[in-house]
Structure 1
Amino acid sequence: MNKIVSALGLLLSACAAFAGELVNLTPGQLQAMQAQGALVVDVRTPEEWRKSGMIPGSRGLTYFDANGGYDRAGWLNQLKPLRNSPDQPVILVCRSGHRSAEVGKMMVNEAGYAKVYQLEKGVKGWSAEGRLLDGQCKTC
């Protein structure tokens, strides 16, 4: 029995070593990584993009539909051509950081990504720092 428990422990440790990592970023860190070529993907809905605007230079790729459903494989296939290379960092963005964290966890735990980044507190945190979103009035 002890050998089985030890073997199971080793197997779990090995699996954990291959698990990816989801890293939270501040708006300043996002901007620095974006300036170095990271891909910023906004997973919100088109209605949300129109309503609040998007982080400049980000790409819209909705993950969840209006009912909370999603097509994981379809979304991952749409993400591939947005990346310049398999090594290009991906930063996920949503309204508050909850949906992007969920998508990021899927990417590292199920889709095999080694590291994914997400904007902590989402566009709400971005705006709270006085940063503008594309589509917002810059002089209002």
Structure 2
Amino acid sequence: MNIKTISIVILALFSSLLSAAELIDLSVPQLQAMRQNSEALIIDIRTEKEWQATGTLPASHKLQFFNASGDYDAEKWLAELKKLKSSPDQPVVLVCRSGNRSGMVGNFLAKQLGMKNVYHLSSGIESWLQAGQEVDAPCPNKVACK
């Protein structure tokens, strides 16, 4: 490789690093502040069984990413997410049980798809509940919840 080619490759790598979107971890107080100060879209990616067990964050949307076997249909999920977003730049906050799955999905959105304004509750709904925050109660009648 000549110097010109090496320079172009380095410049391309450097510029992609500068513009790369990042997943941003949120603590419970940070999420509370975000909910008060922005139109963030809160997406609970857990399973229906998990929603029933703990309830969900108020004003969050249930949009399961992984099924019980750990499989997913990213294309279908992204289409549903797009329907929920009010604008392409609307902040999206992902929530799961402990922060692991929301971290994986958030990194997928930010790093692989280049989506900006992607956040996740770093310790999941567990941290929300431990902080004594309110949740929308689990629905005892599944038919009425859908």
Q: Which runs of 5+ in 2 are unaligned?
A: 139-146
Instruction: Name the TM-score, length of structure 2 as normaliser.
Output: 0.86
CA distance in structure 1 between the aligned counterparts of 2:119 and 2:46, rounded to whole angstroms: 16
Distance 1:42 1:2 in 2: 50
Q: Determine helix, strand or coil for the equivalent of 1:114.
A: coil
The CA deviation string for residues 101-123 of structure 1, in whole angstroms up to 9 with x for no partner, is: 11111111222312201001000
CA contact (8 A) 2:89 2:117 kept: no
Q: Which amino acid aligns with 1:31?
A: Q
What does residue range 60-139 of structure 1 map to in structure 2 within 5 Å?
60-135=62-137
TM-score (norm 1): 0.90
**Aligned-residue offset at 1:9:** 1.8
| 2:94–2:102 CA contact under 8 A, matched in 1 | yes
Offset at 1:28? 1.6
Give a deviation string over 1:11-56, Cα, whole Å, max 9, x none.
2112112211110111121122122211100000011000111011
Partner-residue secondary structure (3-state), 2:68 = coil
| Residues 1-40 of structure 1 mapped to structure 2, 5 A cutoff | 1=1, 3=3, 4-35=5-36, 36-40=38-42
Aligned residues: 136
Distance 2:113 2:8 in 1: 26
Q: Are 2:42 and 2:92, in contact at CA under 8 Å, matched by a contact in 1? A: yes
Aligned residue for 1:75, secondary structure, equals: helix
Identical positions, percent: 43
The answer for unaligned runs of 5 or more in structure 1 is: none
